Structure 1
């Protein structure tokens, strides 16, 4: 178990991590999410004693990282897969880690086999692809057979087979009762892997909840209803006091009622339905909705006017946007001719 209490990190005037308090529990995969610059990497570095907190505390099964006598046997971590000695082979890289932590030599071969790197064990990692480097980093994290594992962007560079493999690995480790903490920007994969989420923005805790609850709280869910009798359907819903709005394709988006209730209502009224389907936002949509105000680096969307020059009076902003639209708006093509 990993416990954070009031964890804070300042770099000069900037507060990178702001009084974070949460617990990463064993037996489930906990996802760690946040926009770029939110403080995720700094938080994970402080968990491993690589950065000293300005305030607050981190405990690994009740101990600070510096108090662990053989840390690889307590917690395994992948933070930077490229952090390897370029002159050592993959086997020797792991062997050095094993000897420093009194781990049997036989364990090196076991983890190389587990991550699929046995054929390249005697090769130097400087020639590895990004995906092979990730596998070597995961092997190092598994080396001490620890009860706690941390992974920062573990699927970087992995092909679809590798992504599925690491997903199954993390879930199997959690099923063994281990603590698994994983940070990733790949929302679709996180949705398939994690059961619990910790979300931060601008260094502050935004959410600490289950995956299902996070999506339900931060997105709009509804039931799509499509019928060849839309006018009658609208009257039936209104009479039942059910809120619905008409979508662009003529279907209804109904909130506050389940698909089962709507199906029974339609059956009682002898209404033909062509579609009755519950709709729920993806993890990505829920995440974007929650963190929209916590994004530090915001890229301008296509068609969006640029931000006025820093220091320009606020009242100039409308004129600035209008000028940009006249010069670059959709009514003009790239060569200056009308579309």
Structure 2
């Protein structure tokens, strides 16, 4: 388990993590979400003892990570791709880590096989692609057979097969009773992988809940209706007290209604419909809605136009 209590990190006058408290429990994949600049990487670094908290604490298996004599046996982590000496082979890199934590050398071959790196085990890691570097980082994280696995953006650089592999691996680790804590900007992957979410913004806790509850609480569900009689349909729904919006493609959106109710109204009033389907928001939609006020960096969406007579113009 990972347990943060009033965790705070300041750099000068800037507070990057602000009184953060949460628990990451075993037996499930917990997603760690937040906009850029939210403090996710800093929190993970403090969990691993790489940065010291300004106040509060974050415990790994009941202790600060700095107190673990052989940390790889308790917590395995991937914070960035290619965090290895480029001149070492993949096998050599893992052997070095194994020796530093008294891990049997047989485990090196096991994780090379597990991550699909057996064929390149004796090649210099500096020649690896980003995806292969990610696999080597994951191999290092799993080297000590740890009860806790912490991964920061683990799918970066992986091809579709690799993305599915790491997704299945995280689920398997959780099913074995391990604590799996993963940060990612890919909401589609989090929706497929995580069961629980910890969401932060500007260093503060915004949500600590299940994926299902998070989506339900931060999105609207509606019934999409395509019909050649939109005005009659709108009038019928309005008389039934059902709010109606018009989608970008002209389809009607009956907000908060159930498809069965819509079907009964259609039948009772002899309306023609081409589609009646329930639409639910994605995790990405819910996340964007929920964190709108906590985004540190936001693009304007405007493209500068070079005008005649300005610098660089004719």
Relative to the length of structure 1, the TM-score reads 0.86
Which residue does the alignment assign to 2:262?
A: 262
Quote how far apart the aligned CAs of 1:284 are: 2.0
Alignment of 1:1-339 (within 5 A): 1-303=1-303
CA distance in 2, matches of 1:65, 1:250: 56
Secondary structure at the residue paired with 2:235?
helix
Query: Does 207-216 or 6-15 show the bigger shift?
Result: 207-216
Deviations 1:71-97 (A, max 9, x none): 111111001232212332111111111
Deviations 1:296-333 (A, max 9, x none): 22223125x8xxxxxxxxxxxxxxxxxx99x69xxxxx
CA distance in 1, matches of 2:57, 2:155: 29
- Residues 223, 48 of structure 1: CA spacing in aligned structure 2 closer, same or farther, 3 A cutoff? same
Quote how far apart the aligned CAs of 1:185 are: 1.3
Deviations 1:177-227 (A, max 9, x none): 111111111222222211211111111111111112222222232111122
Quote how far apart the aligned CAs of 1:248 are: 4.6
Secondary structure at the residue paired with 2:32?
strand
Deviations 1:8-62 (A, max 9, x none): 0000000010011111111111111111111111000000111110111111122
Structure 1 or 2, whichever has the larger Rg, is: 1
Secondary structure at the residue paired with 1:97?
helix
- Residues 248, 102 of structure 1: CA spacing in aligned structure 2 closer, same or farther, 3 A cutoff? closer
Contact 2:29 2:196 in 1 (8 A): yes
CA distance in 1, matches of 2:203, 2:248: 39
- Residues 7, 241 of structure 1: CA spacing in aligned structure 2 closer, same or farther, 3 A cutoff? same
CA distance in 2, matches of 1:126, 1:191: 33
Contact 2:38 2:203 in 1 (8 A): yes
- Residues 77, 248 of structure 1: CA spacing in aligned structure 2 closer, same or farther, 3 A cutoff? closer
CA distance in 2, matches of 1:186, 1:151: 13
CA distance in 2, matches of 1:173, 1:265: 48
Long gaps (5+) in structure 2: none
- Residues 211, 101 of structure 1: CA spacing in aligned structure 2 closer, same or farther, 3 A cutoff? same
CA distance in 1, matches of 2:262, 2:298: 41
Contact 2:220 2:281 in 1 (8 A): yes
Contact 2:223 2:258 in 1 (8 A): yes
CA distance in 1, matches of 2:108, 2:214: 39
Quote how far apart the aligned CAs of 1:271 are: 2.8
